[in-house]
Every structure is written in structure tokens, then in C-alpha cells.
Structure 1
Amino acid sequence: MKNSILSLMMILCLYTTLFGQQKNSTQITKRIETYLTELEKVGFSGSVLVEINGIKVISKGYGFSDRAKSIKNDPNTVLCIGSITKQFTATAILKLEMQGKLSTDDKIIKYFDNVPIDKSSITIHDLLRHQSGLQSNVGKDYDKISQAEFLDKVMNSKLLFEVGKEFSYSNIGYSLLGMIIEKTSGKTYETYLYENLWKPAQMEMTGYSRPMFDKSKIAIGYYKDDKIWGKPTDKEWDKTAPYWHLTANGGVLSTTEDMYKWHKALLGENILSKEAKNKLYHPKIRTEENYNAIYAYGWDVSQTDRKTNRVWHNGGNNIFYGDFIRYIDENITLIMLSNKSHQTNFDRLNFELSKMIFEKNYNPIIPIADNQANQKYSQNIIEIILNKGIEVGKESYKKRTANKNILEYILNAKGYDFLSQKNYEKAINLFIMNTFAFPKSANAFDSLGEAYMNKGDKILAIKHYEKSLELNPNNGNAKNMLLELRR
């Protein structure tokens, strides 16, 4: 009888816990849905998927994939995922290692001819972790170039630092990895990824051209003023894929639903073994690093304040933008793909959603609409500040009409223009205006701190970097600058 009572109590306790989690998840979901609807009103265009407690609670499109035809974005709209592509390349390398066809310790001289002395010690591991010393690019994404020409440019480029000693994000490093995948597998990059990654994950809407996309499902890319940039597939490609400036480092097309399938596949061992997945997220690191925050193999991996792992990557070309965050230990996944240039307005959307999930009382900020009226008003405020001073600018801002507001990025960009010219007073006044208009913006205070630092006013530099860090405790730049200033 005693054991039966204990069992009943345990079942009731478990039911109560699960009911509490479900109720909390429902409340959070409603808040997020309201937030995303508000974002659509100020210009967000794309698709968003949210998983909470291992359950997909939101999968919805916002804005238009084709404005002229009034076609809305939806969870199956095909968008460019940018540099999120790198995780596919990294996983393919580890898959080939599992198949015994290569080792991440292999030097690139094993796969390429005429490698110069300064690059001869570069390993696959170095390429995966962006520690090869190779620069980021040797051309623009859609520039036409042959593989031989691309390799010639890469091999003749100057290294940024000694191989393996530092970090510098390199797109061309991942293009080299794509070539290694083709050399070792005997298949095209896209074919190998489909057969070994995407097909096992049941991802039939991911690739460059392999899925034979219904072209009407591919989103048109738009500038922030709704001027058409076009579809990635309309750009100049090397037959079935982009040229090597982009292949394997970016540009893959997918949907939020397919990317969710990828997330689910990586939780099991159908794609990578347990050992290979551990290497994907926790590869060998440099002596001065620790595992609290590293660029692993195609993923940025860091520890949260909750002592859990955040696995993240983003990517974009200033038109299309993608952001993919996985809190694997906490069963939270956030996927956002967008087809409209939005400057900094929505870059941190997934981070805002994260705060809504993990911080009970967090109220996200609705970005200012990046429209013609606000762009013009921002320029007017700049002119007032430059000609009449910061105080007049503040008074004008306080008297503005309800339908006008400052765009933070416009004042920030103009401030940095003056900062580069060492015109500290004008730069500082514009940055002060941003902190006045956006008192909760860590970036605004970070910029102001930098301006005072460059001017040589260490006291005010420290004050504003501290404020930036208070607003965003994860602001690594503010932390580093404070260490330097306090020395």
C-alpha cells in the first residue's frame, strides 16, 4: 500500500510539472506570436520557427516572398541561408572522416597542388575553425571565376597571421573544404551533401539547384525600400551552383521547416556518430582558448549564464538573412530566415525571442520602422545637431510627431564617419543623440564609449562602456575595451 501511494504521488508530481511547463510554454508562445505580428508591421519579412521544450510551437511566414503578386512568406518558402551553409560543409567533412576518406589533421597539400610554403602547414582543422590565416574573400559572391583561377588567387593571397595562431573568419577557407569534399568523395559538393546529410534527414527542400525548386516558392530578395534585388537563382551561377566565391561557404537555399529537420537529425546518430558530433561542437582548441565560447566546426558554441550550451550560426548578404540558434540542453530551437534587407533592425530577432523564453519579465523592443519617413527624419535630426547643437537636437526629438522616429543605425553610421575623420565632437554628439533616443541600446552606449576612448577621455569611455555592458552582459567588445582602459 505504501509503495502504491508513493507511486501515485510521483505520478501526480510529474503531471503537475509537465502541466506547469505546458502552461508556461503556451503563455510564452502567445507573447512571441504577438511580438512577431508587430515586427511584420514595421517591415519584417521572412519565416520563423520556434521550438520550446522539444515541441514546435510556431512555424509561420511574415511579409511577402513576392510583393507584386501578393504571395506571402510561409514555412515552406525557399530562402537563402547564407553562412549557415558552413555547418553543412563541416558536417560533410566529419562524415567523410567517419567513412575513412580523410582526417581533419590532413594538411591541404594532400589535396591541392602548388601550395606555397606559408600555407603548406594549413590543416582541414585550421580551415574548419577559421584559424588558417586566410583572408575572408578574394571576390564577390556571384563573380564569375573558374576553380583554377580561384585557387590561384587564394594561394597567392597574403596570410593575415601565422597558421593556427589566431582567429579570422574566412569564407574562402570553407570553399577549399568544399573542394576537398568533391576530391575525396568523387561527387559534386551538392550531390555528396544530399546523399549523406540531407536525404537521411528527409530534407527535400535544401540545396543549390538539386531539388528542382518550384521557382514560385523561391523568395524574391528586397532592399529595405522594397526595391527588388531578385532571387539567388537569377544571379550568374556556374551551371547548377554558384561559383567558388560562394559555394560551400554560403548561398544554400532552404526553408525553416527543412532546417528544423536538420536540427532534429543532428540530435540522433543517423548523420554523425556521438564521437563525431562531440568533435563538431567541441574540437581541439588553441592554448589560449577555453570551451566557454569558441568557433567550433561550422558553429559558434558558447555557454549560457544557465551553464547550458548555445549552438548558433547566422549568415546573410545584406538582402537575405538567416539566424539559427539551438539550446540543445534545454530543448529550445529558433530558426529565422528573411528575404528583405533590414540593416540591424531584425538581426537579433532570435536573441530577443531567447530572452522572452528564458527571462520571465522581459519585454522585447519593437524596432523603429525603416521607412522613407523615418530615414528622412533621421537625416533632419543629424542636420539640426551639426548646425545647432545636441541640445536643440534633443528638444526637436522630444517634440516630434507620433509617426516619426530616429533610425539608430543612420546616426551610428554618420557618427563613425566623423570618428574616422577624427572629428570627435560631431561623432560624440550623434552618439549622444542615439543614447538619448535609445536608452536601452547597448550598441549606442558602446559607440559612445569608443568615441570618448578615441578622443582620449578615458573616464567617460569607461562610464559608457560600463553602461553598455550593464545593458548587454554578453557584449565582448565592451569587456575587452574596459580591460584595456583600466590597465
Structure 2
Amino acid sequence: MVNFQCNLCKSIIIIDNKKKIKYLFYLLFVLIFVIRNTLYGQTTYQQFDQYFSTSNHIKQFNGNALVAENKKVVYIKSIGFADFDTKKRLTENSQFPIASITKIFTSTAILQLKQKGRLRLDDPVKTYLPDFPYTEITIRQLLSNTSGLAQYYNLFDTIMFQFPEKIITNRDIIPTFIQYKTPLQFTPGEKWDYNNVNFCIAALIIEKITELSYQDYIKQNIFEPSNMKNSVVPINRKILQKNQVELYSFPNRYSTTLKNVKTIPENFRIDGRSNFYGNGGIVSTSEDLYKFVQALFSGKLIDKEELNEAFTPAKLNNGNLAGYKLENTKINYGLGWEMYDDEKDGKIVFHDGSITGLTSILAFNITKKQTLILLENTGNTSMYTVSNTVFNILNGISFTPPAENFVRQYGNAIAQGQFERAEYLVSSYQKTPKNYSITESEMNKLGYQLLRHNKKDAAISVFRTTTKIFPESWNAFDSYAEALLANGQKTKAIKMYQKSLELNPNNENGKQILLKINSK
């Protein structure tokens, strides 16, 4: 007989000589497996750390990140400041508005009521809200953003003018629809249109059926069962929670200095004069959101049938799936959940959120049981790009490291008249493009913003540079031509429109404008 000391299991194992070789091979296999997985975990953690640290250094991520796999957190980090002005650091207890991730909670609440038999998804909204003026819209169409309801951005302009002190809430939506006989944007089910109003109305249905406020229902039926002790639906969003972060943003596309959003004008008047709920508004932490994910997928909140229904892409009247395209990636929309159409890397469901000074995302790979939660308080993060990178790191797939935002740096130089710095950036990009992140769309948006800000020469420089970087883009030349025409440079504009048509003979906009120019 031979004695072997096994440090791994901290016991003495006695085995027969004939089994000695077999046991040694087994022990070696176990040892290699443990070491490999330990190193893998360290390497993965280090990759996450380097990725987020670099992103923070180049002002592309300031927030909290949590990554989990198979019910185990593999990375959690607070990176940057909760308050840049006081230099207060972020912590795991920092609370963020989660913006449109709230829609997942509203959807879950509706599905809870469906599971209990208190509503049916294909019931007309009017069944529960008798004053609702659109008889054909169903609850399912609210949750799938296919209702056709009008957007709220300019819906309340007259009311806000008449009552300057009034704060608009969910309860003002239906009376306003009735008062102004607001038409639908399209026949219900005909199109997909992302619309916050849908989830505001869904929140009213929850209140009507349960006779609870939306805040109380979510607290009692989602927060408490999920043990989410640091989450709240604020009654007044302007009053910050104890550990709530301040929000910061760049005032424009060519600024390189973050400002507290309180000092930046709202994009729409309604943003500063409303207190809607159901569509957004929940304040939470990354750890609390992970608790929600665990409760949701363990069946604690809704049954599997309802969960599958939430993750099934909605169908339009013509049979097509509801959703949209983001940089050539097709994304479908279920009931309050988004999902990638391409499932080669697993079925990934998610919802992102965005308000001035904040971006967020909660994503779950159902196939691989991987969770990602990102909460960021500068509103300067492309959550789709970052989430894809995180999943790639987690799955050992190659990824593109974070890179300096070329568009912002170049725009800043051009707007300040620092043309030498701008040319240096272009030259540097052309030599080492991997050191910069740039898209034609971002360049285009920068150019048009400069045009709107009456910085015509700067806008022309941006569009001209865009044609150099993207010489095969007909749209780049079309935009360049538009800027030249706006600046009275008709001859050059004609040449650019002609170039655009060479690249794309179907550019109807270019054809029409050339006809107008030549007819004068």
C-alpha cells in the first residue's frame, strides 16, 4: 500500500499500487483544472480592470460595473467620481437613476398581474382606463412599443405655457390626448416606435388594477421580494437620494469639459417640467439590479411562461418582428425587453437607458447565464459597444481596446479655430487609426451641430474631413454639399452633390437639390 498526501483536499488518501498511476493522472488533471481556472479568473478580471480603467482615463466611462456568470460575480468595480465638483468617489452603494431600465420593472409588474389573472395582454387599454380615447390599442402594444401613441416631447407645450408652475405627470397624459384630440402616429401594430408614453400608460393600468401607487406596487412586489434595499421610485426626481450620484455631461459634441447637468439647458422643456414614472425614474445600485436579475430568473417574480413571453419579439401587423437596427445590428423588442436577433453567441436580452448625464444597461445572456450591469454618470458611454466588449472578454473572444474619441477632440480643435491641431489629429488618425474611435455618423452629427450653432466654417471643415476619412460614402459628400450651400458656396456645393450622385445614383435628395439650384 502507498500513502499520498493530497493538499488539495487536505486529507490522506490511501490507494492500491495498481491504481497509483491512474490516481496520479487524476490528481494532475484536477490540479491543472484548478490552476487553469484560477489563472483564467485572474486574467479575465485584469482584462476588465484594464478596459474600464483605460475607458475612465479617456473620459469614456465613469461609473459602476458588475459582471456575473453562473450566479457568481466575477467583476465588480466603482470607477471614478460620484461628484466631480467635490471629488467624492463612487462606491458600491452609489445610487444611479437607471432611466429606461425602469421599463423592465413596469413590464414585470404587468406580467405579474397577467399571471394572477387580473389582466390579459391583448385586452384593450380602455378596459382598465375607460377615458383612454384609443379603443384599438392593447396592453401588449404598450409594452412592445407598437401602439402608435404620440410622443410627449411637444404634447404639453400649451399646458406648460398656460400653467408655468405645473409639473406634468402620468395623470395629465390622457386628459391632454382628449383635450387636443391628439391623433395616433400610425395604426396600432403597424410599426415599432420607441415611446416613453407607452410605459407611462402601463403604470396607470397597474395603479388602477391594484389600487396602489406605482411606487408602492414596485416596492412591495419587486424590490422587497428581490431584497433590493437600496432602490426606490422617487416621488420627486429632483430630490436626490442619500447616496445618489450627480450627473455630468459634455454641453455639446465639441466640448471636452464635463459640466453638471443642472447647468446645462434641457433638450426639451418637458424634461424639466415633468415627473413621469413607469418609463424611467427608478434609482438603484449595480448590486441591487443584480439581485433583481437573480430573483427574476429564479422564478421568484414571475413564472417561466411570462418570462418567455417577455423575451419573445413582438410581431407587427404584417408579420415582421418589431425592433430596430443599430449600426447594422438587428435588435428585436419584446415586452419591455430588447434582444439581439443574432443568437450565435447565445440569447442576449437587455434594456439600456439614457438621459442627459447618464447611460445604463442591464443585459443577460440566457444561454450562458452571464449578467452585465453598467451604470455611468457622464452620459458619454456607448453602452452597446461596452456591453459587447464585456461579453467578449468574458467568453475569451478578441475585442477592440478603448480608444480616444477622435470626433470630440477634432471638433474641439476646429470649434476653437485651432486648425493646426485639427490637421495633426487627422494625420495621427491616418497613421494609427487603432488609437482612435470614429464613425461617420458621429462626424456627421458633429458637423450638423456646428451648423445649428452658426459655426459654418467649422462645420464645413468637419464635413470636408469626413469625405477624406470616408471617401466612399455618398452621404458624406451630400452633407458636405449641404454645408457649402448653406454658406453660399454654390459652385463647390454642386460639385459635391455630383460626387455624391456618382457614388449613389439613387440619392434622391441630391437630385432634387441640384434641380432646384439649376432652375434658378
Normalised by the length of structure 1, the TM-score is: 0.74
In the TM superposition, 1:425-440 aligns within 5 A as 428-433=463-468, 435=470
Question: How far did residue 374 of structure 1 move?
Answer: 6.1
- Select the residue among 183, 188, 193 that pairs with 1:163: 188
How far apart are the structure 1 equivalents of 2:474 and 2:74? Answer: 35
Q: Deviations over 1:99-154 (max 9, x none)?
A: 221111110111223333xx211000010000101133235999712555321224
Residues 331 and 297 of structure 1: CA distance in aligned 2, closer, same or farther (over 3 Å):
same
Contact 2:112–2:301 (CA<8 Å) still a contact in 1? yes
How far apart are the structure 2 equivalents of 1:20 and 1:37? Answer: 25
Contact 1:150–1:244 (CA<8 Å) still a contact in 2? no
Q: How many residues align?
A: 432
Residues 380 and 188 of structure 1: CA distance in aligned 2, closer, same or farther (over 3 Å):
same
Aligned to 2:62: 45
Structure 1: gaps (5+ residues): 232-241, 386-391, 437-443, 463-487
Aligned to 2:312: 282
Amino acid at match of 1:376: N
Q: Deviations over 1:361-384 (max 9, x none)?
A: 32323233998x765314357x85
How far apart are the structure 1 equivalents of 2:425 and 2:387? Answer: 34
Residues 22 and 258 of structure 1: CA distance in aligned 2, closer, same or farther (over 3 Å):
same
Contact 1:40–1:62 (CA<8 Å) still a contact in 2? yes
Q: Deviations over 1:264-318 (max 9, x none)?
A: 1122111011111111111652353359842011110124452520101111112
How far apart are the structure 1 equivalents of 2:89 and 2:203? Answer: 34
Structure 2: gaps (5+ residues): 1-15, 251-256, 264-271, 323-329, 483-496, 506-520
Aligned to 1:183: 208
Q: Deviations over 1:370-413 (max 9, x none)?
A: 98x765314357x859xxxxxx975673279x9x9998787432
Question: How far did residue 165 of structure 1 move?
Answer: 1.4
Aligned to 1:226: 258
Contact 1:452–1:461 (CA<8 Å) still a contact in 2? no
Verify: 1:83 aligned to 2:100, yes or no: yes
Aligned to 2:6: none
Q: Give aligned-pair identity as a percent.
A: 22
Normalised by the length of structure 2, the TM-score is: 0.70
Q: Deviations over 1:191-227 (max 9, x none)?
A: 1111111111111111223899994411011223332
Residues 406 and 90 of structure 1: CA distance in aligned 2, closer, same or farther (over 3 Å):
closer
Amino acid at match of 1:431: T
Amino acid at match of 2:412: K
- Select the residue among 277, 280, 298 that pairs with 2:336: 298
Contact 2:63–2:374 (CA<8 Å) still a contact in 1? yes
Q: Deviations over 1:304-341 (max 9, x none)?
A: 45252010111111212111221121122211111113
Amino acid at match of 1:289: N
Verify: 1:71 aligned to 2:88, yes or no: yes
Contact 2:331–2:339 (CA<8 Å) still a contact in 1? yes
- Select the residue among 151, 157, 166 that pairs with 1:136: 151
How far apart are the structure 2 equivalents of 1:223 and 1:425? Answer: 26
Contact 1:202–1:261 (CA<8 Å) still a contact in 2? yes
Verify: 1:336 aligned to 2:371, yes or no: no
Residues 161 and 449 of structure 1: CA distance in aligned 2, closer, same or farther (over 3 Å):
farther
1:96 counterpart SS class: helix
1:50 counterpart SS class: strand
Aligned to 1:27: 43
Aligned to 1:466: none
In terms of Rg, which structure is larger? 2
Give me the CA root mean square deviation.
4.5
Q: Deviations over 1:218-265 (max 9, x none)?
A: 10112233322259xxxxxxxxxx987621001211111111111111
Amino acid at match of 1:34: Q
Aligned to 1:267: 297
1:333 counterpart SS class: strand
How far apart are the structure 2 equivalents of 1:57 and 1:380? Answer: 44
Q: Deviations over 1:401-457 (max 9, x none)?
A: x9x999878743243469999x99877523235559xxxxxxx97964985999574
Contact 2:93–2:285 (CA<8 Å) still a contact in 1? yes
Contact 1:130–1:169 (CA<8 Å) still a contact in 2? yes
